[in-house]
Amino acid sequence: MQPSLPPESTDAPVTLASCVAEVSDIFARAFHILGGWRDLIVSAGPVQAAELDALVERLVVPALRGTPRAMTPDPASLMTGAGFIAAPQFVTGREFHFAWWLGPLAGTPLLGTTTAPSRLDLAARVNTEFLRDFRELEWYQVPEATARTHVTGPYVDHLCTFDYVITLTMPVRVGEEMVGVVGADVSVKSLEQVLLPHFLALASPVALVNASGRVVTSTEPSLPPGDVLPNGRHPLADYVQVPCPGTPFLLAMRVRAAPH
């Protein structure tokens, strides 16, 4: 983990608003990357599986090689997995097609350790139930239902990375039809490395929470990642919450004394 550097020293002071803007900016740029992938997949038109896989690999694997650096947040460097998941029958004759790559893995129970990006090999996996069900999973189902980008999590990915992640997905549409989603997993750890220096520059504790109040990153020690705001120790009245535009996240700042 990088030491937390102070935000650019000579620039404007860090405020709640500037922290909110930072969160929005990171997700906007991550979705911008996904948008680029989407456009190239759409413009490739109907393709065979091998062609599609080669295209997606070329697009996403460079993103999975980076390492996050505080204060210079290349959103691609936060990604631990990325790819394209085709809708049924988009790839000729295939009910399902996952073109998904994973970044290096450290000692995961099912997939072991890898040092370079590797393809998620669902064909080799014994479980087909997951394949049958993926259209009901939040990261696929919401973009399909709303035709909009979606952010899932944070949650423990218990299938691949065994990490605490946030999943970004964007529908890939041809006309009125969704032909799949492009997506990326962002590890909470990487996101923290980028956001924490900003949050620490604020005088009051803040917590970045999702729409359910689930904490992503926080400078309030009694409200760690994974906890939910409000809870028994943290009533809602103790916080002001500011939405981060373009994301489902809110930045909650404590405005009353710390809990006892």
Per CB under 8 A, does 104 bind another protein?
A: no
Query: Cβ of residue 127: shortest distance to another protein, in angstroms?
Result: 5
Per CB under 8 A, does 129 bind another protein?
A: yes
Q: Compare residues 130 and 256 and give the one whose CB is closer to another protein.
A: 130
Per CB under 8 A, does 231 bind another protein?
A: yes
Per CB under 8 A, does 234 bind another protein?
A: no
Side-chain-facing half-sphere of 176: CA atoms under 13 Å: 0
Per CB under 8 A, does 108 bind another protein?
A: yes
Amino acid at 246: G
Q: Which has the closest alpha carbon to 165: 103, 87, 95?
A: 103
Amino acid at 249: F
Query: Cβ of residue 249: shortest distance to another protein, in angstroms?
Result: 15
Per CB under 8 A, does 212 bind another protein?
A: yes
User: Do 94 and 49 touch, CB atoms closer than 8 A?
Assistant: yes
Per CB under 8 A, does 240 bind another protein?
A: no
The residue within the footprint of another protein, chosen from 17, 54, 228, 236 (CB under 8 A), is 228
Query: Cβ of residue 167: shortest distance to another protein, in angstroms?
Result: 14
C-alpha–C-alpha distance, residues 216 and 147, integer Å? 25
Alpha-carbon Rg for the chain, nearest whole angstrom, is 19
Per CB under 8 A, does 81 bind another protein?
A: no
Q: Compare residues 5 and 228 and give the one whose CB is closer to another protein.
A: 228
Q: Compare residues 153 and 183 and give the one whose CB is closer to another protein.
A: 153
Q: 3-class DSSP state for residue 36?
A: helix
Residue whose structure tokens are 């190239």: 40
Q: Which residues contact 139 (CB under 8 A, 6 or more apart)?
A: 150, 152, 167, 169, 181, 183
Per CB under 8 A, does 126 bind another protein?
A: yes
The residue within the footprint of another protein, chosen from 67, 92, 127, 222 (CB under 8 A), is 127
Instruction: Tell me how many residues contact another protein (CB under 8 A).
Output: 26
Per CB under 8 A, does 109 bind another protein?
A: yes
The residue within the footprint of another protein, chosen from 162, 201, 242, 248 (CB under 8 A), is 162
Per CB under 8 A, does 159 bind another protein?
A: yes
Q: Compare residues 31 and 239 and give the one whose CB is closer to another protein.
A: 239
User: Do 216 and 151 touch, CB atoms closer than 8 A?
Assistant: no
- In sequence order, the β-bridge partners of residue 178 are 173
- Positions of E strands within the chain: 79-86, 97-102, 118-119, 150-156, 164-174, 177-187, 206-209, 215-218, 239-243, 250-254
C-alpha–C-alpha distance, residues 75 and 64, integer Å? 11
Sheet of 177-187: strand order equals: 118-119, 97-102, 79-86, 177-187, 164-174, 150-156
Residues 130-149 that bind another protein (CB under 8 A): 130
Q: Which positions touch another protein (CB under 8 A)?
A: 108-110, 112, 124-127, 129-130, 154-156, 158-159, 162-164, 212-214, 225-228, 231
